């Protein structure tokens, strides 16, 4: 069977807010990503709104939930690239709908669950199916307090604060912590080898939730575009100083949605 450009794994309601989302796997024909290596990339997108518009109008809640980086504007994913490209290709019917015969394309491959979007928005049977034949996978969720706890099998709990780290550990998660430069590493943490020895995720494979033989957690110093790092630092410092960090997005989103008649 010819390798598809992409496979639509799920079209349905988000488990976060019941709005329509779509889950698309790409990277079957060719794939180059320096940080992850050769991995199938999974995109969790709003089904009916381009990613940039969805973000501006706050509709990305369906796929990102209450991730702090969404409020800070510091998410490392560049929406103009992967998410927009995949969304418009989906709208142009460039991808095939999943059926059982397509599972062979996932066999022995390394999978990045959630190149954009939170895996907790998606019914877990999707991850059970493709991960059952994969060589390895990595995944992260900011929604670890509320989501299906079975997601621990595949995902790390994304945390930024010491308090969250402790809570997530109490709930039985392995964690992936983004920290400020001046913050130190916790005892059970390993520094992400992508930042120390330039190991790609598919070779490292530490971020595979409870599947991992190691019980260690992972920590990384905030990285990426400089302006995003600055936003991240600002947001975290506000929280640490107990200042309000959520601007009143809700009102702004509602005004914009009204103006756009959405
Ligand atoms: S710890 Fe390994 S798998 Fe996790 S982000 Fe770093 S390189 Fe990738």
Q: Would 257 be classed as within a structural domain?
A: no
For the four alpha carbons of 206, 210, 213 and 216, in that order, the dihedral sign comes to positive
Mean pLDDT estimate for the chain: 90
**Model confidence, pTM:** 0.91
In whole angstroms, give the CA distance from residue 220 to residue 196.
10
Span 176-208, pLDDT tens digits: 999 998 899 999 999 999 888 888 888 888 999
- Dist. CA 234 → ligand 1 center (Å): 25
The helix/strand count (H/E) of the chain reads as 10, 10
138 Cα to the center of ligand 1, angstroms: 8
User: Which residue ranges have their beta carbon within 6 Å of ligand 1?
Assistant: 138, 192-194, 199, 201, 204-207, 218
**Which residue among 177, 206, 214, 221 has the greatest number of ligand 1 atoms within 8 angstroms of its CB, and so is best to mutate?**
206
Say how many Å lie between the CA of residue 227 and the centre of ligand 1.
23
Domain total in the chain: 1
Over 90: is that where the pLDDT of 237 sits? no
Please report the pLDDT score of residue 255 as a whole number: 65
User: Distance between CA atoms of 108 and 132, rounded to whole angstroms?
Assistant: 10
Note whether residue 245 is domain-resident.
Answer: no
**Domain carrying residue 85:** 6-240
Is 58 a domain residue? yes
Does residue 79 lie in a domain region? yes
Residue 27 lies in a domain: yes
Give 192 Cα–ligand 1 centroid separation in angstroms. 5
Sign of the CA dihedral running 63, 68, 71, 76: negative
């Amino acid at each position: 069977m010819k390798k598809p450009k992409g496979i639509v794994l799920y079209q349905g309601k988000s488990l976060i807010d019941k709005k329509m989302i779509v889950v698309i796997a790409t990277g079957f024909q060719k794939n180059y990503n320096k940080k992850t290596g050769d991995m199938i990339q999974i995109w969790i997108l709003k089904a009916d709104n381009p990613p940039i518009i969805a973000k501006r109008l706050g509709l990305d809640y369906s796929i990102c939930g209450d991730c702090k980086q969404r409020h800070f504007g510091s998410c490392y994913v560049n929406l103009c690239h992967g998410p927009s490209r995949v969304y418009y290709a989906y709208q142009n019917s460039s991808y095939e709908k999943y059926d059982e015969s397509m599972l062979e394309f996932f066999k022995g491959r390394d999978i990045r669950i959630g190149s954009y979007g939170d895996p907790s928005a998606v019914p877990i049977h999707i991850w059970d199916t493709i991960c059952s034949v994969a060589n390895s996978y990595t995944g992260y969720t900011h929604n670890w307090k509320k989501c299906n706890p079975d997601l621990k099998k595949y995902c790390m709990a994304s945390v930024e604060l010491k308090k969250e780290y402790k809570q997530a550990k109490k709930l039985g998660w392995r964690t992936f912590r983004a920290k400020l430069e001046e913050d130190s590493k916790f005892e059970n943490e390993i520094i992400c080898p992508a930042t120390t020895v330039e190991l790609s995720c598919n070779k490292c494979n530490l971020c595979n939730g409870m599947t991992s033989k190691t019980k260690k957690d992972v920590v990384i110093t905030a990285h990426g575009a400089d302006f995003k790092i600055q936003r991240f630092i600002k947001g975290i410092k506000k929280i640490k100083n107990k200042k309000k960090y959520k601007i009143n997005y809700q009102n702004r989103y509602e005004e914009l949605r009204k103006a756009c008649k959405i």
